[in-house]
Amino acid sequence: MLTANYFRRIEGRKQFQKAVFLLKEHFKIEFTYHFIPYLYGPYSSQLQSDIDNLARTGYLKASKIGPLYYYEITPFGERLACEIEKEYGQNQSKDLAKKVVDLKECTTEELVQWSKQLMKEKYKDDFVFPW
């Protein structure tokens, strides 16, 4: 929720997946998602299920334009994110927000390439990579 809140608008499932992977693996944010190598880099079915549930319950607005899904936080989602921030803590929330800003400066393709490279480096003995 906080990641979506700080992004405000996420352009595509790839961007969402890669951003959360990089927050977890590169920036050491504690996410419980398990990622596997997939066609466009790291993918978590658990994360996608959570994203779909957040959209279904009105916390995120999902729009499909052509082949891409766009996700935006809703006012309902903003209220939940505010509550989560309080529980998460001011320092941790600011740290996450700064890291999301760093990721927002990257294109989706840059996030894909960065996450693929990081996954290969970290998990070279654990997976066969389809890319």
Instruction: For 3-60, write each residue's pLDDT tens digit.
Output: 999 999 999 999 999 999 999 999 999 999 999 999 999 999 999 999 999 999 999 9
Here the tokens at position 3 are 């990641």
Domain boundaries, the chain: 2-107
Backbone angles phi, psi at 3, to 5 degrees: -60, -45
Q: What is the mean predicted confidence (pLDDT) over 104-114?
A: 97
Residues ≥6 apart with Cβ < 8 Å to 80 = 1, 59
Question: What is the pLDDT of the chain when averaged over all its residues?
Answer: 96
Beta partners for residue 73, in sequence order = 60
- 2-107, CATH topology level: Arc Repressor Mutant, subunit A (1.10.10)
Here the tokens at position 20 are 């959360």
Strand ranges in the chain using DSSP code E only, listed in sequence order = 9-11, 36-38, 41-43, 60-65, 68-73
